[in-house]
Structures are given as C-alpha cells and as structure tokens.
Amino acid sequence: MARIELINLEKVFGEQHAVRALDLEIADGELLVLLGPSGCGKSTTMNMIAGLLPPTSGSIVFGDREVTDESPYQRNVAMVFQSSLLYPHLTARQNIQMSLKRSGLSKSDVSQRVTEAATTVDVAHLLDKMPGQLSGGERQRVATAKAIVRQPACFLLDEPLAALDAALRMTLRSELVNLQKRLNTTMVFVTHDQVEAMTMGDRIGVMRNGGLEQIGTPNDIYNNPESLFVAGFVGSPPMNFFAGDIETVDGQPTFVNAFARFRLADAYGQLAPRSGVTLTVRPQFMRIVSEAGEGTVPLTVYAIEHLGNESVLIADAPDGSKVRAVVAAGFEAKIGQALHASFDPSNAGLFDTKTERRVAQ
C-alpha cells in the first residue's frame, strides 16, 4: 500500500505536450478518479504512474521511495486496461497466474492465491474458460482478480468499464469501490464518464489538455467548480451558461445581458462593474414561471425529455443558446411555447469568460 506523489510530471511526444506540469498527491488507500475528455492525457499519466512510459521530466514517488526509474514490476502496481484486456489464448486461471509468474511463490501457494482472488470477485467457477468464452462483465472480474492476486501497492484502472453496457457498468463500479474499500489499497481510476467519476471517487482530478484543471471531492467539483470547463464537464443534465456583463444597479452588482438581468447574491456585494462574464446555473435550480418579471429569462420550448421521476425541459434563450431545466414529471409544454425561467441567485456561479476562472466573491 502506498501514497503516490507526482512531482512536476511532464510528457512530450514530439511536438505534443501530452502531460504538462502535473503535481498530484494521492493518499494511501484513496480512490482517485482522473476525469477528462478524450486525448487530455489521462492514459499517458496512468502509464507513467505504472512505469510503462518514462516521463520527459518530473518524478514519481511511492510512499517514501522515488520510483521514476523503476519497472512496473518493481513498483508492484497492478493494472486493468480498457475492455479488461487478458491474454486471449490463456484460460482465466492461467491469466491470473501470470501476475505471479515472477513472485517466486510455490505452486501450491500460487494456486491458493489464485483461488482466493477469484473467490473475492466471484469468478471461481469460470477459471477454466478462455477469455473469448466470457461475457464482458465476467472478463472484467477476471481482470480484477488478476490485479488483486499480487496484493499490489496500488491499482491502476484505465477505463475498464468503457466497453460495457450501462446496467453492467453500474453493478461493476459499485463492486470495484466496495473491493477497493475492503482491501484498502490505493486506486487510480481513469474515465471520461463524469457519472462514473462522481459515483466512485474519494476525490476527482479533472484533466484538460495535459494539465490538472481541478482536484477535489465529488461534492467540491460539483458545487464549487473553479473553471468553466469543470462546470460544463461535470453534472447531468449539463450546466446552463449565460454570457453578459456586471453592472451596478441601485448600488447592487447585477448581471446584465440583452434579454435578462439578475441581481447577484449578497456574497458578491462588493463586486465592481466588469464586462465579459459567464453566469452558470445547474438545471436543477431553474424554476419555470409563466410571467416575465424581475430576474427571469424568456425561453422558447425546444424539447422535453422524460426521465420518469422527473423531466428535463430544453429551451432556446433569445440569443440561441440552449437552456435546460429539471421540472416535475407531469410538466407539460408544447414545442415553441413561450415560457420564463428564474433561479435563486445564491445558486449561480460567476466566471470570467476570457480566463474561464471563477470570479472571486
């Protein structure tokens, strides 16, 4: 078991900066999720932690030991790859055994450890099957057994659930979290699915263009995004954005654009007028009203998505941007119908449009 520290880690492929100036500390026993869009450098970071890819510069520390130049095996990492890669012509049992090939354990110890690991993830009855004969979920469990059998310093999982159907992903992600907590082993989990990140992580590191955009608990990331990118990437349905300026109206800082004005929350009491800001509101905080008034946005209904317990109203703002609002399940509206929406200013976030950073209160 180990605390993992990445210090000023960089990886350059030719012209391309795949990972830049990455500083990251992962506590012992923590489950950290690396979240980010395709190509942002998640796998590259993971490969460097694993020891599969030498960093261009920077260092990696496991516990108190610098491991930057060590092989994956010396680091004692276990990795599960995308679509739960296994040696295709070896049985599940032989695949799990391969993890112990260099362990020097006796034959009987190996077979006992394999059985234990397989029992832990409930695949003991599948040990003599070939990977091709296993379902996606079974293959994922066998890959997990292969990872835990070595009792590694940390687990590294690179989108192991990406190729599975939604229901199975839900089952397997809770299984993985449960297992990680039981074994209390440090785990780094890579995904581009924000729901997976929110539900699994002790903390989430959001990556963008090779850098760490924000790191924090799922709560932090969801409620206090530090940048427009994080605000837009996390949350379902996605965040609403309104572009405009800050003016002082009646001595109060107020958000103003062509079709709406919102009094800012008291926390922003001292804010000076400025141009080029973006106001963010989660769809859950949008309220639909029929009359225009103080602090409302005029909307034209575009679509309604029924989720059973609630619905999502999608509407066009006058500037053509889409606005989403979570509404009660019975909500009815015709496409093209005019509506108005408002929200409590304390639930809105304020960002500088140019720097994409949160505006200090």
Partner 1 sequence: MSNLQFALLVTVPVLCFLVIVVAYPLGYALWVSFHEVSFFGGYSTEWVGLDNYVAVLEDGDFWRSALLSVRFTVESVIFTMLIGLGLALILRDLRGRWVWLRAILILPWAVSPYGTGILFAFLGRGQSGIGTAFISLFGSEETINLIAANIVVEYLALGNAWNLAPLLAFFLLASMMTTPSRLYDLAAIDQINRFEVFLHVTLPPLRFTFFVFTCIITVLSLKQFDYIFTETQGGPGNASSVLTYQLYKISFVNLELGLGAAMSFYLLFLILAVTLGLYFFWGRREARNA
Ligand X SMILES: Nc1ncnc2c1ncn2[C@@H]1O[C@H](COP(=O)(O)OP(=O)(O)OP(=O)(O)O)[C@@H](O)[C@H]1O
Binding-site ranges for ligand X (CB under 6 A) = 13, 16, 18, 36, 38-44, 192
DSSP class of residue 102 equals T
Interface with Mg ion (CB under 5 A):
43
Residue 77 in the binding site for partner 1 (CB under 8 A):
yes
- Cβ-based nearer residue to ligand X, 44 or 194: 44
For the bound state, the minimum distance from the C-beta of residue 142 to partner 1, rounded and expressed in Å, comes to 13
Phi, psi of 107 (to 5 degrees): -55, -45
Q: Give me the 20-59 binding string for partner 1, x by CB under 8 A, dash otherwise.
A: ---------------------------x--xxx-------
13 binds partner 1 (CB under 8 A): no
Which one of ligand X, partner 1, Mg ion, none is in contact with 16 (Cβ closer than 5 to 8 A by kind)?
ligand X
Binding window for partner 1 (CB under 8 A); candidates: 34-42, 88-96, 256-264, 333-341: 88-96
Judged by beta carbon distances under 5 to 8 A according to partner kind, the member of Mg ion, ligand X, partner 1, none in contact with residue 38 is ligand X
64 in helix, strand or coil? coil
Q: Least separation, in Å, of the C-beta of 206 and ligand X?
A: 12
107 is a contact residue toward partner 1 (CB under 8 A):
no
By the 10 Å C-beta count (0-12 exposed, 13-18 middle, 19+ buried), 247 is classed as middle
Among 73, 171, 219, 355, interactor with partner 1 by CB under 8 A: 73
The three-state secondary structure class of 134 is: coil
Task: Please check whether residue 121 is in contact with residue 143, taking contact to mean a CB–CB distance below 8 angstroms.
Answer: no
Coil, strand or helix at 204: strand
From partner 1, Mg ion, ligand X, none, which one binds at residue 41 (CB under 5 to 8 Å depending on kind)?
Answer: ligand X
CB 207 within 8 A of CB 233: no
Q: Which of 90, 177, 265, 333 binds partner 1 (CB under 8 A)?
A: 90
Q: Is 14 in the site for partner 1 (CB under 8 A)?
A: no
Q: Which residue, among 21, 23, 20, 28, has the nearest Cα to 4 in the 3D structure?
A: 28
Name 220's Cβ contacts closer than 8 Å, sequence gap at least 6: none
* CB closer to partner 1 out of 183 and 333: 183
Checking 329-336 for CB contacts under 8 A at 24+ apart, the result is 331/288, 331/304, 333/301, 333/304, 334/301, 335/301, 335/302, 335/303, 336/300, 336/301
Which of 1, 85, 124, 265 binds partner 1 (CB under 8 A)? It is 85
CA distance 349 to 361: 10
Q: How far is the CB of 69 from Mg ion (least distance, A)?
A: 24
